[in-house]
Structure 1
Amino acid sequence: MTTKKTKWGILSTARIGMEKVVPALMKAQGMEVAAIASRDLAGAESAAKRLGIPKAYGSYEELLADPEIEVIYNPLPNHMHVPYTLKATEAGKHVLCEKPIALDGDEAALLLDVPEDRFVMEAFMVRCHPQWQRAREIVEAGELGDLLLVQSVFTYNNPDPDNIRNKLSVGGGALMDIGCYPIVAARYFFDNDPKRVISLVDRHPDFGTDRLTTALMDFGNGKRAEFSVATQSVPYQRLNLLGTKKRLELLIPYNAPQGGEVVLRLDDGKTLGDGALEIETIPACDQYQLQGELFSRVVRGEEELPYGTGDAILNMRIIDAIFRSEATEAWETVNTTVSD
Structure 2
Amino acid sequence: MKKVRWGILSTAKIGLEKVVPAMQAGEYCEISAIASRDRTQAEMAATRLNIPKFYGTYEELLADSDIDAIYIPLPNHLHIPWTIKALEAGKHVLCEKPIGLSSAEAQGLLERSKGFPHLKVMEAFMYRFHPQWLFVKKLIDDKRIGDVRTIQAFFSYFNDDPQNIRNKKDIGGGGLMDIGCYCISQSRFILSQEPVRVFGMLEYDEKMGVDRMASAIMDFGNTSSTFTCSTQLAPFQNFRVFGTKGLIDVEIPVNIPPHKATHVWLELNGKREEFVIEAQNQYTLQGEFFSKAILNNTSVPTPLEDAVNNMKVIEAIKESNLQGSWVMV
Structure 1 residues 149-168: Cα deviation after superposition (integer angstroms, max 9, x where no partner): 12100000001111110111
In the alignment, which residue of structure 2 is the partner of 1:113? 112
The answer on 1:306 being equivalent to 2:292 is: no
CA contact (8 A) 2:290 2:301 kept: no
TM-score normalised by structure 2 residue count = 0.98
Instruction: State the Cα RMSD in Å.
Output: 0.9
The answer on 1:324 being equivalent to 2:322 is: no
Q: 2:100 aligns with which of 102, 108, 111?
A: 102
Higher mean alpha-carbon deviation, 114-123 vs 70-79, is at 114-123
TM-score normalised by structure 1 residue count = 0.94
Structure 1 residues 60-100: Cα deviation after superposition (integer angstroms, max 9, x where no partner): 00000001111100000000000000000010001000000
Q: CA deviation at 1:304?
A: 2.7
Structure 1 unaligned regions, length at least 5: 271-275, 335-340
In the alignment, which residue of structure 2 is the partner of 1:166? 167
Q: Please show how residues 59-208 of structure 1 align to structure 2 within 5 Å.
A: 59-111=57-109, 112-114=111-113, 115-208=116-209
Give me the whole-angstrom Cα distance separating, in 1, the residues matched to 2:117 and 2:107: 15
Give me the whole-angstrom Cα distance separating, in 2, the residues matched to 1:149 and 1:71: 39
CA contact (8 A) 2:35 2:58 kept: yes
In the alignment, which residue of structure 1 is the partner of 2:246? 246
Give me the whole-angstrom Cα distance separating, in 1, the residues matched to 2:301 and 2:125: 11
Q: 1:30 aligns with which of 21, 28, 31?
A: 28
Q: CA deviation at 1:303?
A: 4.1
In the alignment, which residue of structure 1 is the partner of 2:39? 41
In the alignment, which residue of structure 2 is the partner of 1:338? none
In the alignment, which residue of structure 1 is the partner of 2:227? 227
Is the partner of 2:296 in helix, strand or coil? coil
Residue identity matched to 2:242: L
Residue identity matched to 1:322: I
Structure 1 residues 228-287: Cα deviation after superposition (integer angstroms, max 9, x where no partner): 0000000000000111001001010100001221010111263xxxxx310000001000
Q: 1:283 aligns with which of 278, 285, 291?
A: 278
Percent sequence identity is 47
Q: CA deviation at 1:117?
A: 1.5
Give me the whole-angstrom Cα distance separating, in 1, the residues matched to 2:70 and 2:117: 17
Extract structure 1 runs of 4+ deviating beyond 4 A: none
Residue identity matched to 1:297: K
Give me the whole-angstrom Cα distance separating, in 1, the residues matched to 2:318 and 2:238: 23
CA contact (8 A) 2:18 2:283 kept: yes
Higher mean alpha-carbon deviation, 6-15 vs 139-148, is at 139-148
Is the partner of 1:300 in helix, strand or coil? helix
Give me the whole-angstrom Cα distance separating, in 2, the residues matched to 1:269 and 1:83: 52
Is the partner of 1:39 in helix, strand or coil? coil
Structure 1 residues 117-176: Cα deviation after superposition (integer angstroms, max 9, x where no partner): 111100000000100000111111111100111210000000111111011110001000
Structure 2 unaligned regions, length at least 5: none
In the alignment, which residue of structure 1 is the partner of 2:49? 51
CA contact (8 A) 1:8 1:31 kept: yes
Is the partner of 1:260 in helix, strand or coil? coil
